[in-house]
Amino acid sequence: MKQTKNIGFAVLALGLALLLGGCRGSEGEIENILIVADVESIVADGLSQVKVVATSGGGEDITSQVQFHHSAGVFPVGGGLFTTTKKGAFTVSASYGGVVSNELEINAVEPAVLPTSRFVRHVCVMDFTATDCAMCPAGQNHMIQVNGQMEDEATKVHLLALHKPGVDPMGIGLANEMMTDFNITENPYYLTDLRDKGGVSSNEEKSAYRRSIMNSTDNYPAHVGVALKCVAPQQGGSEYEVEVSLLSERNDFYRVALFVAEDGIVAEQNVDGTYKSYTHNHVVRKMLSASYRGDNIGAIAAEQSVSKKYSFEMPSEWVPERCKIYALAIDEAGFVNNLGVCCVINDTFGYDYLAE
């Protein structure tokens, strides 16, 4: 599901200003630095680049000697090359031995056409629920039904159920934290890719849920692949080990958030006003990352990968055979761009490529 965006043209404004005093002092010293850029526009796709060259007052190329400085959102590729995935105005300057250059303003524009990806787009839906919520089972069933309808060879939708603490035996403090942060005041409620949110009770809300999935798949294509390797403890051990790897298609900054979720938990549930024995799936048991916003992986250059390892102990009341790891790749804007899922017992999830 791809969508072409209509946007206007924008021009890269390059402010070029020479510092007064114009020459090299004693040998080895630089009194003036001038930086210039090679293009007048850059597309915020994480691949288009601007080349900034630094010269001394005498015209000598000192790009390799200066230290570049830039505003947030700019990705320094190295050697004076810069790119970004954010549209807007950015600044770049350079310094050497206390001498500061002029400042360039870079206006990055949104891509006219969304970049294509070779990865399947995995969408993350967080379902805020509780066992005393009479409408929650119907709400989750609706989400699962829509998710299945939206899936194809290029799109997969995953549900994570966050149970509210209190009377709910599966309650987790993370649910309260996220409900506060996202101003969620009711159950059932959804949060798609940490971006779109809403209830699933009325027909209007149910239609909005479908649109939230379409928004993620149509307007936010995958630009990073996620791979997982899970290893169960050896005999006599107690720790499960998880290694998550990210492979980026563009120059960008990433975070990774990890959750343990369990299926097949039988517990009482209020179903339309009557409490019944009910099987709960996709239940978040534990967060392995320090925050649901993810642990900072840092900068990953295009076609490069970075890995991070985690470990955890599993309480005796959990059933390992029914537990899975969900690894969310979160982009610099703070939204889930892709994810991977694998069982906790000696399982792997490879980079999920689109079929040729």
DSSP state, residue 193: T
Based on the number of CB atoms within 10 Å of its own CB, is 243 exposed (0-12), middle (13-18) or buried (19 or more)?
Answer: middle
pTM: 0.87
Question: pLDDT digit string (tens) for 283-310?
Answer: 999 999 999 999 999 999 999 999 999 9
User: In the chain, what percentage of residues exceed pLDDT 90?
Assistant: 82
User: In the chain, what percentage of residues exceed pLDDT 70?
Assistant: 92
> Which CATH architecture describes the domain 121-349?
Sandwich (2.60)
Question: pLDDT digit string (tens) for 70-99?
Answer: 988 899 999 999 999 999 999 999 999 899
Q: What is the pLDDT of residue 8?
A: 32
Please report, for the chain, the start and end positions of each structural domain, with discontinuous segments joined by +.
1-113, 121-349
Q: Give the residue-averaged pLDDT of 242-252.
A: 97
Q: How many helices (H) and strands (E) does the chain have?
A: 3, 24
Q: What is the pLDDT of residue 29?
A: 74
Amino acid at 249: E
CATH code for the domain defined by 1-113: 2.60.40.1080
Question: pLDDT digit string (tens) for 139-164?
Answer: 999 999 999 999 999 999 999 999 99
- SS3 of residue 255 by DSSP: strand
Lowest mean pLDDT among 10-24, 237-251, 255-269, 319-333: 10-24
* Integer Cα distance of 98 and 101 in angstroms: 10
Tokens (6 digits) for 113: 């056409």
* Integer Cα distance of 53 and 92 in angstroms: 11
Domains 1-113 and 121-349 share a fold: yes
